[in-house]
């Protein structure tokens, strides 16, 4: 059984020291891993910047780029996690800030504090999605980084047209996708009727793309929007349950702004179940 870990929501706003700390721990364990990078950090209304709008590209964050290069030299594989990982200059649903919000889907928080999906943005189209992908790839190139071959949709949500665009620009997607009514029959897709699905192994999906597994979720020490906290023991329990799947993969993600210790506990626990950590490309077959 194979396992995979990726570091999530890295952007030009990340702390390069935290990135290097993660890199050194994972290298010390000889663990290949993914780094999911958002090439532009933006806070269009200055929510975290005293009301002053802030945008930082990778090219404007040389210390972050140097940390990414360090990671790539020590077992990391570059992945692309959206263009800005937020939408316009509005709350979608939280702050309008990179890594907080949806990029390719609208959403809001209801009175019961649940996140509600509202469907694709009005301007959603193949051309709109392609323009964001093109801008994202240009951001990596401008910073002297390699072209990422893998894509993860911000908060996993996009329209059927968007997922097809991602599939045309990357070797594979790694995520839990949405699938829309009408997709199989060839009828016009209903953007308001869909289900989310996740896989314990690689598949070729109805959008024509290889989808790499994400079935274990992530470490989250504090409950958010009626989602309970998920601690290392919870992730390890999910990995244990997935041993029932022949060729099943335990694939999870971790935010590098958390300390190393919970990541270490998770990795140690998953390894103790007999899993071997591999790089993302090794999940494709």
Q: What are the residues binding Zn ion (CB under 5 A)?
A: 9
Q: Considering beta carbons, is residue 9 or 215 the nearer one to Zn ion?
A: 9
* Smallest gap from residue 82 Cβ to Zn ion (A): 7
Q: SS3 for 28?
A: helix
Residue with tokens 């990078």: 37
Strand 190-196 relative to strand 203-204, pairing: unpaired
Q: Considering beta carbons, is residue 29 or 88 the nearer one to Zn ion?
A: 88
* Smallest gap from residue 142 Cβ to Zn ion (A): 22
Q: What are phi and psi of 245, to 5 degrees?
A: -90, 120
Nearest to 169 by CA among 201, 226, 131: 131
- Does residue 178 contact residue 156 with C-beta atoms inside 8 Å? yes
* Smallest gap from residue 253 Cβ to Zn ion (A): 8
- Does residue 115 contact residue 107 with C-beta atoms inside 8 Å? yes
CB-closest chain residue to Zn ion: 9
Q: Considering beta carbons, is residue 22 or 275 the nearer one to Zn ion?
A: 22
* Smallest gap from residue 148 Cβ to Zn ion (A): 14
Q: SS3 for 29?
A: coil
* Smallest gap from residue 216 Cβ to Zn ion (A): 16
Q: SS3 for 9?
A: strand
* Smallest gap from residue 183 Cβ to Zn ion (A): 24
Q: Considering beta carbons, is residue 9 or 43 the nearer one to Zn ion?
A: 9
Q: Considering beta carbons, is residue 92 or 248 the nearer one to Zn ion?
A: 92
Q: CA angle at residue 246 from 243 to 247, to 5 degrees? A: 95
Is the Cα torsion angle 237, 217, 196, 151 positive or negative in sign? negative
- Does residue 152 contact residue 79 with C-beta atoms inside 8 Å? yes
Q: Considering beta carbons, is residue 155 or 248 the nearer one to Zn ion?
A: 155
């Amino acid at each position: 059984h194979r396992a995979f870990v990726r570091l999530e929501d890295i952007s030009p706003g990340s702390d390069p020291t935290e990135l290097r700390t993660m890199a050194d721990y994972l290298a010390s364990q000889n663990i290949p891993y993914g780094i999911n990078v958002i090439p532009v950090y933006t806070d269009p209304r200055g929510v975290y910047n005293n009301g002053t709008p802030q945008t930082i590209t990778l090219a404007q964050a040389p210390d972050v780029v140097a940390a990414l290069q360090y990671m790539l030299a020590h077992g990391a594989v570059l992945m692309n996690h959206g263009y800005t990982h937020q939408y316009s200059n509005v709350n979608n649903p939280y702050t309008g800030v990179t890594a907080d919000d949806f990029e390719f889907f609208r959403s809001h928080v209801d009175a019961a504090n649940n996140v509600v999906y509202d469907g694709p943005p009005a301007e959603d189209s193949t051309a709109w999605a392609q323009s964001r992908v093109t801008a994202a790839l240009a951001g990596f190139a401008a910073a002297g980084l390699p072209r990422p071959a893998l894509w993860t949709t911000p908060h996993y949500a996009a329209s059927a047209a968007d997922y097809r665009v991602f599939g045309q620009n990357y070797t594979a997607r790694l995520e839990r996708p949405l699938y829309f009514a009408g997709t199989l029959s060839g009828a016009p897709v209903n953007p308001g009727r869909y289900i989310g699905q996740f896989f314990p192994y690689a598949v070729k999906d109805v959008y024509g793309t290889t989808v790499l597994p994400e079935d274990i979720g992530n470490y989250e020490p504090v409950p958010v929007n009626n989602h309970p906290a998920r601690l290392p023991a919870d992730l390890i329990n999910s990995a244990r349950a997935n041993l029932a799947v022949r060729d099943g993969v335990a694939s999870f993600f971790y935010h590098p702004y958390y300390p190393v210790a919970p990541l270490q506990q998770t990795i140690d626990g998953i390894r103790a179940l007999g899993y071997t950590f591999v790089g993302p490309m090794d999940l494709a077959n």
